[in-house]
Amino acid sequence: MSVLVYISTQAGKATNAGLEVASYASALQTGEVIALVAGDISGDGGLGAVGVSKVMHCADALTDNSQQSKLTKEAALSIGAKAVVFSGNSIGNSIAPRVAIAMNAGYVAGATGLPEGKTYTRNVFSGKATAHVQVTTETIVIAVTPNSFGIKNTGGSEAVVEAFSADVGEARVTLNGFTPTSSEGTVPLPEAIRVVSAGRGLKGPENWGIVEDLAKALGASTACSRPVGDMGWRPHHEHVGQTGITIRPDLYIACGISGAIQHLAGVNQSKVIVVINTDPEAPFFKAADYGIVGDVFEVLPKLTAAINAL
């Protein structure tokens, strides 16, 4: 049975989140993987290489999620898909639940891996526990947590691109403008593979240069603790934790962050956690893989230099 996967593109290419969910859909091994793309695509957008055999392409870059939901439902019905896969990023989370209702499908939000039999694992209690959930409906909609599966090249050949359209009604939400949070080319925080994060230990916004230098050396995105966002030292969208963004990079470096439970909730699924803190009793060390007990103002420049020397 074929699987439909909803893909966002940027400059004609599938985004990393898109490549990841296409990889996930291929690994489900339930049948042909068919991608739905609304908007720009050049060639097959890089989707053949991650196991997609066909791209259903709607040239209209829809911006209203009720239209995107209708388009997805019609595409799924037309190919008889019983599973529809989205990235659990902001875009996916605004469409996937609608599709689940529209198709009377059970919904798995934030799946963190492939199902075992019919059971999907998802994070709950802000990363403090996992729920192992079965869906009792025939049709299922899955949103996959960004960075939980990874991009897996299958070495597949170029996917066939076919035009697709459906009656999606009028847009009722008008998009008047888009402001990117990060400069062109940098990865959105939830998709970042490496993150350098800093807290109140940095003493003030004027000191962020050493954090940015380290991030640059590692090709990492920057993040911060909540007080740092609240005091306006850093933009709100960098705030990670229970009431901020949840991330799961391969590498998380926490600089001058105490490791309060609410902070840990958003970052504790990182593969490797490094903590740099002057206080050996800081709770963060208990959640870390590697630690340096030391002053960020001394350690960070040295660490950056050591990485640049590689």
Partner 1 sequence: MKLLVCISKAPDTTSRIAFTDGDKRFDESGVQFIVNPYDEWYALVRAIELVEQNGGSVTTITVGEASCDPIVRKALAIGATDAVRIDAIPTDSSQVARLIANYAKDQGYDIILGGKETIDNNSSAVPAMIAECLDLPYVALVTKLEMSGDEATLTAETTGGTNNLSVKGTFVMSATKGIAEQRIPNMRGIMSARTKQLQVVEASAVEISTQVDVFKLPPLKGDCVIVDADNPAELVRVLREEAKII
Ligand X SMILES: Cc1cc2nc3c(=O)[nH]c(=O)nc-3n(C[C@H](O)[C@H](O)[C@H](O)COP(=O)(O)OP(=O)(O)OC[C@H]3O[C@@H](n4cnc5c(N)ncnc54)[C@H](O)[C@@H]3O)c2cc1C
**Interface ranges with ligand X (CB under 6 A):** 199-201, 225-228, 241-244, 256-258, 260, 262-263, 266, 276-279, 282, 295-297
Span of 24-32, 37-45, 195-203, 286-294 interacting with partner 1 by CB under 8 A:
286-294
Which of ligand X, partner 1, none is residue 180 near (CB under 5 to 8 Å by kind)?
partner 1
Query: Length of the chain in residues, anyone?
Result: 310
The reply to whether 257 sits near partner 1 by the rule CB under 8 A is: no
Q: How far apart are alpha carbons 36 and 67 in whole angstroms?
A: 13
Span of 45-53, 132-140, 149-157, 204-212 interacting with partner 1 by CB under 8 A:
132-140
The reply to whether 240 sits near partner 1 by the rule CB under 8 A is: no
Angle of helix 209-218 relative to helix 296-308, nearest 10 degrees? 30
The reply to whether 5 sits near partner 1 by the rule CB under 8 A is: no
- 8 Å CB contact between 22 and 35: yes
* Gap between the terminal Cα atoms of the chain: 48
Which of partner 1, ligand X, none is residue 286 near (CB under 5 to 8 Å by kind)?
partner 1
- 8 Å CB contact between 233 and 204: yes
- 8 Å CB contact between 160 and 55: yes
Closest distance of CB 297 from ligand X, Å: 6
The reply to whether 128 sits near partner 1 by the rule CB under 8 A is: yes
Span of 31-39, 75-83, 201-209, 264-272 interacting with partner 1 by CB under 8 A:
264-272
Span of 53-61, 116-124, 196-204, 205-213 interacting with partner 1 by CB under 8 A:
116-124
Closest distance of CB 172 from partner 1, Å: 4
Closest distance of CB 201 from partner 1, Å: 14
Closest distance of CB 273 from ligand X, Å: 14
- 8 Å CB contact between 43 and 74: no
- 8 Å CB contact between 152 and 47: no
Closest distance of CB 271 from ligand X, Å: 20
Nearer to partner 1, 39 or 294 (CB): 294
The reply to whether 119 sits near partner 1 by the rule CB under 8 A is: yes
Nearer to ligand X, 71 or 255 (CB): 255
Closest distance of CB 229 from partner 1, Å: 8
Q: How far apart are alpha carbons 100 and 77 in whole angstroms?
A: 13
The reply to whether 299 sits near partner 1 by the rule CB under 8 A is: yes
Residue 9 pairs in a beta bridge with 14
Span of 20-28, 32-40, 57-65, 198-206 interacting with partner 1 by CB under 8 A:
57-65
The reply to whether 181 sits near partner 1 by the rule CB under 8 A is: yes
Q: Which two tokens stand for residue 269?
A: 């699924």
Closest distance of CB 296 from ligand X, Å: 4
Q: How far apart are alpha carbons 194 and 297 in whole angstroms?
A: 21
Q: Where are the beta strands (DSSP E) in 42-118?
A: 54-58, 83-87, 106-111
The reply to whether 100 sits near partner 1 by the rule CB under 8 A is: yes
Which of partner 1, ligand X, none is residue 250 near (CB under 5 to 8 Å by kind)?
partner 1
Could you tell me which residues come within 8 angstroms of residue 147 by beta carbon, excluding any fewer than 6 positions away? 20, 190, 191, 192, 193, 247, 248, 249
Q: Which two tokens stand for residue 266?
A: 């958003």
- Strands of the sheet containing 83-87, edge to edge, are 119-124, 106-111, 140-144, 83-87, 3-7, 33-38, 54-58, 160-163
Work out whether the CA dihedral 44, 46, 48, 52 comes out positive or negative: negative
